[in-house]
């Protein structure tokens, strides 16, 4: 039976009758024997395999080139080589699929830009293997975090008729051949529909029944921003809590990020070491810092004051009533606070209709968590739970109450204070790995002008 290389390398004693399967990273030939480095993606390390010239299948050795797939039987013995505990002595080798010299991953040290052009092969590189193993583990950690706190996982729809964020950045979904705007009533759903930008509105309905819920699924935004932090398709985690206010929301958001950093340090040490070496020297220290220290909290007004007094030249203006741009967010978290920062109570005009109005009548209970290297990773709020006020908010944002009738109903029947947030999974991964481009933490990036693979 085949054993994954990560388990082979974790052995505590020699083994016989072992079978491994994987892809050849390198082969070196000596007189009478060859060394193969085999990788099966289960861990960063390769298994070194010694193949004597006489063993069955050894005649195929010339075809066991970089990128070829192979099955090897043999035994596990202590390795005389430095830096590795075990190596395998082959008793039989079998070539499964050859790879000729056109295989693009011949040598180490390709740039991330080049590897993006071969997204179908890049998971076979050390760096991308590590990134996508970490992505999988962190997805598991997300579920563990919420499940262990009694949050219920809810699958919210991907096709929707409502623009949660009100930013008009939605992809149209249509079954019509011609212009869907001409006859939306003749379209598949009888009205204009889109790919969701957020599962929040539907999530709120479930929180107002099951108390604490979370979503974790794909979201879509047609914003034409070609930055290293925006993707047109990304995965969002959205918890929503009944009987919760802004304080509780900030507490959960900060605890969540801290737990993810702790999890990465504990369960992804080998991959993190690789990021520390080749991607971002400071990554491990940054994660330790996040685990150990409380986040700074700043009201929006105070954040504006800090930016205005900073003496820094920013590309975008800093003024009460304007959105914080990524350069402002990064100044606050990287230079001023030197810590993750939670900014809260933003002006009403620049935030969506669902946020709760504060007593000052100017601000709403919004909160964004900013982290070094990225800026915003979390956007959230306490929701407006008062019927008259939610109707007023819809009017203020020029939205039609009848389009949101079911959302408004939650305020009509047993309304409760509630709050939640959205965390972009790719931005979290960028923070945890130090990888600086969102295209490199998602298997197949969807960005303006690019839907390859």
Write out the residues near ligand 4AD by the rule CB under 6 A. 164-165, 198, 200, 221, 223, 230-231, 234, 236, 238, 376-381, 420-424, 426-427, 438
Q: What, of ligand 4AD, Mg ion, none, does residue 427 touch, CB below 5 to 8 Å by kind?
A: ligand 4AD
With CA atoms as reference, report the closest residue to 395 among 430, 353, 350, 359.
353
Q: How far is the CB of 223 from ligand 4AD (least distance, A)?
A: 6
Tokens of 295: 């986040």
Q: Residues with Cβ < 8 Å from 31, sequence gap 6 or more?
A: none
Q: How far is the CB of 146 from Mg ion (least distance, A)?
A: 21
Point out the residue whose Cβ comes nearest to Mg ion.
379
Cα Rg for the chain, rounded, in angstroms? 26
Residue 203 CB, nearest approach to Mg ion (Å): 16
Nearer to Mg ion, 200 or 433 (CB): 200
Tokens at 65, concatenated: 């080139």
22 vs 422, which CB is nearer to ligand 4AD? 422
Select from ligand 4AD, Mg ion, none the partner in contact with residue 221, using the beta carbon and a kind-dependent cut-off of 5 to 8 Å: ligand 4AD
Residue nearest to ligand 4AD (CB): 379
Alpha helix stretches (DSSP H) within 387-449: 387-396, 405-412, 425-433
Residue 178: DSSP 8-state: S
Nearer to ligand 4AD, 57 or 379 (CB): 379
DSSP state of 434: -
Residue 422: contacted member of ligand 4AD, Mg ion, none (CB under 5 to 8 Å, by partner type): ligand 4AD
At residue 450, the 3 state secondary structure works out as strand
Residue 273 CB, nearest distance to Mg ion (Å)?
Answer: 32
**Closest CB to ligand 4AD among 86 and 235?**
235
Site for Mg ion in 364-393 (CB under 5 A): 379
Nearer to ligand 4AD by C-beta: 125 or 200? 200
Task: Identify which of residues 57 and 379 has a Cβ nearer to Mg ion in the complex.
Answer: 379
Which residue's entry shows tokens 């999988």?
Answer: 136
At 219, give phi and psi (nearest 5°): -135, 160
User: Both tokens of residue 144?
Assistant: 């563990």
d(CA 450, CA 337) in angstroms, rounded, equals 36
State the number of binding residues for Mg ion (CB under 5 A): 1
CA distances to 47, 48, 68, 117 from 94, rounded to whole Å, are 16, 16, 11, 31
Q: Is 67 in the site for Mg ion (CB under 5 A)?
A: no
- The tokens describing 419, both together, are 């709050």
**In the complex, which residues of this chain contact Mg ion (CB under 5 A)?**
379
């Amino acid at each position: 039976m085949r054993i994954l290389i990560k388990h082979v390398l974790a052995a505590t004693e020699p083994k016989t009758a072992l079978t491994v399967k994987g892809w050849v990273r390198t082969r070196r030939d000596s007189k009478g024997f060859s060394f193969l480095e085999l990788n099966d993606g289960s861990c960063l390390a390769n298994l070194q395999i010694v193949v004597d010239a006489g063993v069955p299948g050894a005649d195929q050795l010339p075809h066991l080139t970089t990128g070829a797939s192979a099955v090897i039987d043999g035994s596990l013995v202590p390795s005389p080589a430095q830096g590795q505990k075990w190596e395998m002595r082959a008793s039989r080798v079998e070539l499964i699929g050859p790879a000729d010299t056109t295989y693009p991953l011949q040598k180490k040290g390709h740039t991330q830009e080049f590897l993006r052009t071969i997204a179908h092969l890049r998971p076979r590189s050390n760096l991308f293997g590590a990134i996508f193993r970490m992505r999988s583990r962190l997805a598991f950690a997300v579920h563990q975090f919420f499940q262990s706190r009694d949050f219920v996982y809810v699958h919210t729809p991907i096709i929707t008729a409502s623009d949660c964020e009100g930013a008009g950045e939605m992809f149209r979904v249509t079954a019509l051949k011609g212009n869907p705007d001409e006859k939306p009533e003749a379209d598949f759903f009888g009205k204009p529909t889109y790919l969701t930008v957020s599962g929040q509105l539907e999530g709120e309905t479930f929180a107002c029944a099951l108390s604490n819920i979370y979503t974790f699924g794909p979201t879509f935004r047609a914003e034409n921003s070609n930055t290293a932090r925006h993707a047109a398709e990304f995965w969002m985690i959205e918890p929503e809590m009944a009987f919760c206010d802004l304080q509780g929301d900030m507490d959960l958001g900060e605890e969540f990020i801290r737990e993810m950093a702790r999890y990465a340090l504990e369960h992804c040490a080998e991959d993190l070491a690789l990021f520390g070496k080749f991607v971002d020297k400071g990554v491990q220290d940054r994660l330790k810092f996040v685990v150990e220290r409380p986040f700074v909290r700043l009201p929006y007004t105070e954040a504006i004051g800090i930016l205005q007094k900073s003496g820094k030249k920013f590309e975008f203006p800093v003024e009460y009533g304007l959105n914080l741009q990524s350069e402002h967010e990064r100044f606050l978290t990287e230079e001023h606070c030197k810590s993750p920062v939670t900014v809260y109570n933003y002006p009403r005009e620049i935030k969506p209709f669902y946020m709760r109005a504060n007593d000052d009548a100017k601000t709403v209970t919004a909160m964004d968590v900013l982290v070094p290297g990225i800026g915003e990773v979390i956007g959230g709020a306490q929701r407006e739970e008062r019927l008259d006020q939610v109707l007023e908010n819809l009017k203020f944002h020029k939205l039609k109450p009848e389009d949101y009738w079911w959302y408004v109903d939650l305020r009509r029947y047993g309304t409760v204070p509630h709050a939640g947030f959205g965390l972009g999974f790719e931005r979290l991964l960028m923070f945890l790995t130090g990888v600086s481009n969102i295209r490199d933490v998602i298997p197949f990036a969807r960005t303006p002008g690019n839907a390859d693979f």
